[in-house]
Amino acid sequence: MRMDLKKTKGVAIILLGRISGRQLFLLTWLLAFATSIIYLPAALAVRLQQDAWIAFLLGVLPIIPMWLVIIGLGKVFPGLSAMEWSRELLGNTRGTLLGLVFMAFFTFLAGVVVRISGELFSIAFMPETPLWVFIITAVVAGGYAAWHGLESIARGTEILFPFIILLAIFQVLAQVRNVDLKLIEPFFISSPARFAAASLIPAANYGEIVVFILFLPSLYRPGSGTREGLSGTIFSAVMLAIIGVFMLGIFGPAELARMNFSGLELAQNVRVGRFFERLESLVLGIWMMAIFLKIGLLYHGVVIGLAEWLRLKNYRNLVIPVGIVLAFTAFFAVPNYLNLTRFMTTTWPFLALGVELGLPVLLLLLAVVKKGRKKKDGQTH
Amino acid sequence: MARPINWTFLQGGMLWCLCVVLLALPNAGCWSRKEVDHLGLVVQVGIDREDNGDFRFELKTVKPGLVAGGGSGGGGGGGGAAGKPFWIAQATGKTLSEAFTRLQTYTPRRPFLAHCQAIIISEEVAQNQLGPVLDFLSRQREFRRTAYVFISRKKALDILGAESPLEATPGVDVSELIMWMNWDPKIMAVSLNDFFRALSLPWIEPFMGLVDLVTPAPQKTNTSGGGGGASGGGSGKQEASAKSGEEQDLQVAGAAVFKGTRMVGYLTPVEAQTLNWLIGRAGGGVITVPMPEGAGQVQEASIRVNATRVSIKARGTTGVVIHIDQEGGLLEDSGGAAMSVKLLESIEKRAATLTQNRVAALVNTLQKKHGVDTLGLGRVLYRKDHQAWARLSKDWDQLYPDLPVKVESTFRLRNTGMTIHSPR
């Protein structure tokens, strides 16, 4: 609740909420972790065989400049929203267009996450249930989170985080016996070019943190947060790499490469003694909560961005219309799941990194140049 | 600027009404609903081949009412079909899915495969058309990768029909048996995931456990099936090969080796035991070696193997060294020899030699007889030096049968059991 900050610009966005450094860490971790475990390991195993897990770590590299740029933008325009400063920077028309690009990106991304969660249920558990049931459920859950705002989503993640960590630790302990580490040897068999190309896939996934460009005024201290954000990305990258090693060691690279839902298969493989198995409903339940929170976060980003783009006073009026758009995006964006994963691992990384890294870098450069010129102008006059 | 919509009407009563209506909707029933009393729990699946090339798909389904109340008792009473705690549903089809769906036309419950513990595949299928079976097993969403796959020399239907007189719950026989894999590693159990993993990787070939129906003690003694209830249950079996009065028991022993998806041959139980040692799955078992001295007519010592450690290493670019370390305790000395430290050392040497010979024999069988790299020796070379391997691997199929494999073994006898000497 900070009416004061926005008063200067005359556009008062209420109920924006603030997140602490820890919450930033958790939200970053959530963005990178929640969906990537579903289809990324298989896609990486196709490209790098037993080195797939390394790509999860390499994918962090492009994220380091990304965080510096995003937090830097917050430093250059303290207290301003992305839509406001992009208009200030590029002029009204071009700034508005840029805002539209960002909104389209986040809408599509949120739609894809909704679709993935729906496909997971539809393919693996309830094939007779129409897909739209899952899509609407996910959109409603995400919409509920988006309605309540960033703070609520962050707190939800705080609650969920220990459960996911506990489950992850349990998975590791329960399955460590089945892991054949010989399967990930020898290391680095692929060429550096292949590594670089494959690393773009997780990088594009981690790069979804660009959504924080919309939440910059919500950071507890504008200009800080690089450390927390980056450590969130690195934390999820390490978790994904460990899980990647487990999947490679349990299923083998070639078998992993043909899986549709490797995360689910990993959970199904848990067998402690002869009595403790079929754990996947628990895993899936908690996992779905994480996915819903991720949908909520992206959904909230779309709604906030759109409200600022349209210069509205209250973002909540947009929750339902955006939800309808999201549901349609999720339903009609791709014809089937194979198309979805193929698109997300071939075309999407380039598109996404363009928006996630390219645009912010350009904006920051422009901002620095403009500020420098302004300072110069001030000196000459 | 748009006039903000007033959502306050949703607070209070309206919201509650909406919630109640929304929550009431799913109560009327939903898609993909699975109630326990509409499901038939399938514990074992069998896959056979028809003469015309179709599949016969068999499901051993638990009869819900009969399991809890002691199914074996019911089976002992009459042995009729009604008393059996399970029902085998079967159907044929060009594809397994077709057969599976056709089953539904005369199965009042929906067969539920997620609890399937063992998948029995008949020899004919494994030799001719395993590919489609594997596709079905991995694409079908209910099967689990933890389920075990077995090859059966007989019709899978016969295996499914076998009923252990010892177990009240049907269908667990196979999974109960493989629980004792470490006790006797002749029992070979391979999960679906193990099989898929070996199948999918280059330079290693998959294998499966073998399940069979055997007459435990040939004719003259009928001690093992002596219980009245047991033979009663046995009479209800469907195998044609079983003569009346002859008890046929389910046995899991030995293995079937594959080249890709085609089965190429069998390993004997002893070879399966050695394979289990080498892949590190089960390191137990009993080995019997001749004693150098003793008083009795039979001079043999049986040793329980307690632990086995194996390292398979590349030697140069085209050679493999298998080193196998075992330890165990003396279980039986039929010669009644006087134990001494020196004698123990001698037994150790004999045991080490026996293991070495068995490993060498297994490797030889795999290399020469079957020509399949079940142990993944190619992968050992690949891991050692993948650049040299890139050149080698082209001729691997010709190279493999003559690949020099050196076997080294040690054995440590840790104890002599509860006594030192035999009673005399």
pLDDT digit string, tens, across residues B176-228: 788 888 888 899 999 999 999 999 999 999 999 999 888 766 555 444 433 33
Residues of chain A below pLDDT 70? 1-16, 222, 273-277, 377-381
Tell me which residue has tokens 């001295």. Answer: B293
Write the single-letter amino acid at B123: E
Percent of chain B with pLDDT over 70: 80
Report the chain A residue with the minimal C-alpha distance to residue B30.
Answer: A129
| pLDDT value at residue B33 | 66
Number of neighbours of residue B288 by Cβ within 10 angstroms: 15
> What secondary structure does DSSP assign to A176-202, as a single string?
GGG--GGGGPSP--S-HHHHHHHHHHH
Pairwise CA distance, residues A141 & A135, whole Å: 10
- Any chain B CB within 8 A of the CB of A221? no
Most A-contacting residue of B116, B117, B144, B148 (CB-CB within 10 A), to test interface: B144
Per the CB < 8 Å rule, is A254 touching B145?
A: no
Distance of residue A316 Cα from the nearest chain B Cα, in angstroms:
9
Most B-contacting residue of A46, A121, A123, A126 (CB-CB within 10 A), to test interface: A126
Per the CB < 8 Å rule, is A268 touching B5?
A: no
Which H/E stretch holds residue B137? helix B130-139
Of residues A4, A32, A56, the one with CA closest to residue A212: A32
Bridge partners (DSSP) listed for residue B266: B256
Distance of residue B222 Cα from the nearest chain A Cα, in angstroms:
33
Pairwise CA distance, residues A165 & A286, whole Å: 11
Above 80 in pLDDT, residue B6? no
Q: What is the pLDDT of residues A146-161, one digit of tens each?
A: 998 899 999 999 999 9
Parallel, antiparallel or unpaired: strands B39-49 and A276-277: unpaired
Q: Which of residues 90-129 of A touch B (CB under 8 A)?
A: 123-129
Of residues A281, A26, A30, A22, the one with CA closest to residue A142: A30
CA A307 to chain centre: 21
**pTM for the full predicted model:** 0.85
Residues of B with Cβ-Cβ distance to A186 under 8 angstroms: 382-383, 386
The DSSP call for residue A357 is I
| pLDDT value at residue A2 | 42
Pairwise CA distance, residues B86 & B70, whole Å: 12
Per the CB < 8 Å rule, is A252 touching B379?
A: no
- Which tokens belong to A371? 């500020």
Residues of A with Cβ-Cβ distance to B193 under 8 angstroms: 250-251, 255, 269
Parallel, antiparallel or unpaired: strands B190-191 and B148-152: antiparallel
Per the CB < 8 Å rule, is B197 touching A252?
A: yes
Query: DSSP strand E in B268-419: where?
Result: 286-290, 300-314, 320-333, 405-415
Residues of A with Cβ-Cβ distance to B4 under 8 angstroms: 313-314, 317
CB B157 within 8 A of CB B56: yes
| pLDDT value at residue B228 | 35
Residues in chain A: 381
Most A-contacting residue of B115, B201, B203 (CB-CB within 10 A), to test interface: B201
Residues of A with Cβ-Cβ distance to B383 under 8 angstroms: 182, 185-186
CB A81 within 8 A of CB A99: no
Report the chain A residue with the minimal C-alpha distance to residue B1.
Answer: A312
Number of neighbours of residue A68 by Cβ within 10 angstroms: 16
Pairwise CA distance, residues B8 & A317, whole Å: 12
CB B154 within 8 A of CB B196: no
Q: Supply angle C-alpha B191, B193, B194, rounded to 5.
A: 65
- Give the residue with greater pLDDT, A12 vs B40: B40
Pairwise CA distance, residues B257 & A136, whole Å: 49
Distance of residue B80 Cα from the nearest chain A Cα, in angstroms:
32
- Any chain B CB within 8 A of the CB of A187? no
Distance of residue B50 Cα from the nearest chain A Cα, in angstroms:
30
The DSSP call for residue A129 is S
Number of neighbours of residue A9 by Cβ within 10 angstroms: 14
Q: What residues contact residue B53 under an 8 Å CB cut-off, 6+ apart? A: B129
Handedness of CA B174, B176, B177, B178 (dihedral sign): positive
Pairwise CA distance, residues A102 & A124, whole Å: 33
Is this complex's ipTM strictly greater than 0.90? no
| pLDDT value at residue B53 | 86
Per the CB < 8 Å rule, is A186 touching B32?
A: no
Per the CB < 8 Å rule, is B179 touching A274?
A: yes
Q: Is the peptide bond before A186 cis (omega within 30 degrees of 0)?
A: yes
CB-CB: which of B7, B32, B144 is closest to A268?
B144
Residues of A with Cβ-Cβ distance to B144 under 8 angstroms: 268
Give the A:B interface size as CB pairs under 8 Å: 67
- Which tokens belong to A5? 């900050």
Going by pLDDT thresholds of 50, 70 and 90, the confidence category of residue B170 is low
Of residues A207, A161, A181, A174, the one with CA closest to residue A344: A207
Q: What mean pLDDT do residues B389-410 have? A: 90
Phi (first) and psi of residue B152, to 5 degrees: -120, 135
- Give the residue with greater pLDDT, B149 vs A4: B149
Q: Which of residues 286-305 of A touch B (CB under 8 A)?
A: none
Above 90 in pLDDT, residue B5? no
Going by pLDDT thresholds of 50, 70 and 90, the confidence category of residue B309 is very high
- Give the residue with greater pLDDT, B29 vs B95: B95
| pLDDT value at residue B75 | 37
Pairwise CA distance, residues B345 & B347, whole Å: 5
The alpha helices in B204-317, defined as continuous H runs, are 228-234, 269-278
Bridge partners (DSSP) listed for residue A46: none
Q: What is the pLDDT of residues B46-85, one digit of tens each?
A: 999 998 989 999 998 888 765 554 444 333 333 344 567 7
Which H/E stretch holds residue B62? strand B55-62
Pairwise CA distance, residues A75 & A86, whole Å: 14
Per the CB < 8 Å rule, is B145 touching A268?
A: yes
First to last CA, chain B: 107
- Any chain A CB within 8 A of the CB of B201? yes
- Any chain B CB within 8 A of the CB of A183? yes
Going by pLDDT thresholds of 50, 70 and 90, the confidence category of residue B150 is very high
For chain B, give me the number of helices (H) and strands (E)?
Answer: 15, 14
| pLDDT value at residue B3 | 66
The DSSP call for residue B339 is P
**C-alpha Rg value of chain A to the nearest Å:** 21
CB B372 within 8 A of CB B366: yes
| pLDDT value at residue B278 | 93
Report the chain A residue with the minimal C-alpha distance to residue B147.
Answer: A269
- Any chain B CB within 8 A of the CB of A4? no
Most A-contacting residue of B23, B116, B192, B193 (CB-CB within 10 A), to test interface: B193
Handedness of CA B315, B321, B327, B330 (dihedral sign): negative
Per the CB < 8 Å rule, is A269 touching B7?
A: no
Write the single-letter amino acid at B333: D
Going by pLDDT thresholds of 50, 70 and 90, the confidence category of residue B231 is very low
Write the single-letter amino acid at A181: L
